[in-house]
Amino acid sequence: MPIRRELVFLALTVLLVLAAAGAFYLSRATTLTVAVAPSDGTEPALIRAYADALKVSRKEIRLKVVPFDDVRDSAAALQTGKADLAVVRPDVALPENGLTLAILRDQAMIIASPEPSGITAFDDLDRKRLAILAHRDADHTLIKALVEHYGLTLLDGAPDGPVPARHVALVQLDEADLAQAFAKKRIDAVVSVIAPAAPTALRIVGIVQAASRTRKVAFVDVADGTAIIERMPRLQAVTIPAGLFGGAPKVPADDVRTIGASYRLMARAGLSRTVAADVTQHLFELRSGLSNATAAADYMLAPSYETTAAATSARLPIHPGAIDFFEREQQGFIERYETWIYLVAFLGGGFGSALAWIRQRLSRVRRERVEEATDRLLAIRAEARETTDRAGLDALAAEIDDLAGEIARHALERPTEARTMSAAAIAIDAARSTVRRTTLRGDGRSGRPGASEPPATALSAPEIA
């Protein structure tokens, strides 16, 4: 059957629709599920602000924020595949498939007391009362681990009498009651696991400073930080710079070494490098706007590493996509979609070749149909010479008309070789002429004087072609 123009247009339309669908698929925004926690922390507000900023700026990434009460739950969501991203505190719960994109907040364990107390090391906490303002399970676990490292036992709540030897009492207080607790000697020091430069940390140290007769503050220095991190590798060493909390007098007077933890934005290991790089890039690109929505954006930082090998083999590995962003090695459009481009080119070439073959095949079929009709016309010419029956001649004449119409239809639908059409036209003229002469001879008019044949209505080659 011949290929009609409508079929070609239909094929082109299908190709254009498929191309448009592919372009839409490649350009549409990728939606990622992010698990955020803790409910009383600053990270949920930061991630929500980031999700809103992505939507407003029409980035190719969208975030679906799923809140959880505890970082253990958010880590579990990433572990089980219910989330693509998650806010994780590695020292509390580290998902096996979690790779770091960015550090949302570095925290340090700060233990401060009025300087006359003389509490400058963990051993000095023996038989002391230690106040804590926000009693989070994660912070409690960290404090307990460090206290036990130095051979002390942590008591939850203050005992009625003196604190037993080799024990530390942890007393939960509100920030508003902290100054009065120092004044009445109900506590000896205060502990907080917090970002050192956070406003809350500044206020706490300010209260301790106000409780000191000398306006000086003593901080517990963790001299064995390297050994502690070897035992608890999900923690990190933190140094509080001198003068961070004030300069007259300088608080602290010298750098303070301590131990801390971090809240991290992690991605599942199977997340595409391209998508991970985009998430990391937009997080830091939109940082200025995020800081207007929440102060938590000011504490974001990139995880530190020296070499790419060190980053991917660290105790808390960094996602290769994040490394691509940090090292400015993000993939361009061709690199991202080269597989699809090659596949489309390959399939497109194959489709084009198949279409050309089909067209060639159908063109040959049309030519064969015309050639078959021509052969039949030549056969009719031979039959007409041997036939004297008028009904038979009429049937041959009708068949000639049908064959001529079929040839004409083929010629109108698609161009056919001029040589083939010329041969067909000659065969039509010859067949009709033979049938006409035989018919006249049968009527007895061929020998009469003055008899002449009606003019032939031949279908010339130019008319058909």
For residue 338, what pLDDT is reported?
Answer: 60
**For residues 131 and 123, what is the distance between their CA atoms, to the nearest angstrom?**
17
Contact of 120 with 220, CB cutoff 8 Å: yes
**Mean pLDDT, to the nearest integer, of 249-270?**
94
In contact, 46 and 290? CB cutoff 8 Å: yes
At residue 160, the pLDDT reads 84
pLDDT higher than threshold 60 for residue 464: no
What confidence tier does 453 reach under pLDDT thresholds 50, 70, 90? very low
Token digits of residue 129? 């009362």
CB-CB neighbours of 452 under 10 Å: 9
For residue 206, which of 260, 255, 249 has the smallest C-alpha distance?
249
Which of these, 78, 11, 7, lies nearest to 265 by C-alpha position? 78
How far apart (Å, rounded) are the C-alpha atoms in residues 359 and 465?
19
117 compared with 350, residue with greater pLDDT: 117
Q: What is the mean pLDDT of the chain?
A: 83
Residue 334 pLDDT class (50, 70, 90 cuts) = low
Q: Can you tell me the distance from the alpha carbon of 255 to that of 345, in angstroms, rounded to the nearest whole number? A: 62
- In angstroms, rounded to a whole number, what is the distance separating the alpha carbons of residues 114 and 188? 8
Position with higher pLDDT, 214 vs 360? 214
| Relative orientation angle of helices 390-413 and 418-443, to the nearest 10 degrees | 160
Cα 204 from Cα 201, distance rounded (Å): 5
Q: Which residues, listed in sequence order, are joined to residue 258 by a DSSP beta bridge? A: 238
Tokens of 7: 């079929």
**Which helix (H) or strand (E) covers residue 396, if one does?**
helix 390-413
Render pLDDT for 271-286 as a digit per residue (tens, 0 to 9): 999 999 999 999 999 9
Q: What's at 89, amino acid-wise? A: R
What's the rounded mean pLDDT across residues 324-348? Answer: 65
Q: What is the pLDDT of residue 457?
A: 42
330, 281 contact by CB (below 8 A): yes
**β-pairing verdict for 256-268 and 246-247:** unpaired
Least confident span in 55-69, 242-256, 368-382, 432-446: 432-446
- Short-list 304, 291, 231, CA closest to 264: 304
pLDDT bucket at 209, cuts 50 / 70 / 90: very high
Whole-angstrom distance, CA of residue 262 vs CA of residue 69: 17
Residue 329 pLDDT greater than 80, yes or no = no
Is residue 306 pLDDT above 90, yes or no?
no
Task: Give the 3-state secondary structure percentages of the chain, helix then strand then coil, rounded to 5.
Answer: 50, 20, 30
Q: What pLDDT, in 10s, does the model give residues 50-86?
A: 999 999 998 989 999 999 999 999 999 999 999 999 9
Structure tokens at 351: 């489709």
Whether the pLDDT of residue 7 is over 90: the answer is no
Q: How confident is the model at residue 431 (pLDDT cuts 50, 70, 90)?
A: confident
Q: Mention every residue, 6+ apart, whose C-beta is less than 8 A from residue 72.
A: 92, 93
The CATH class for the domain spanning 104-264 reads alpha beta
Q: For the segment 386-427, what is each residue's pLDDT rounded down to a tens digit? A: 777 788 878 888 888 888 887 787 777 666 667 777 887 888
Q: 201, 178 in Cβ contact below 8 A?
A: no
**CA angle 196-200-204, nearest 5°?**
90
pLDDT digits (tens, 9 = 90+) for 112-156: 999 888 899 999 999 999 999 977 788 888 999 999 999 999 999
Q: Give me the count of residues in the chain.
A: 465
Give the pLDDT score at 429: 85
Whether the bond into 38 is cis, omega within 30 of 0: yes
Res 360: pLDDT:
64
CATH of the domain spanning 28-100+267-312: 3.40.190.10
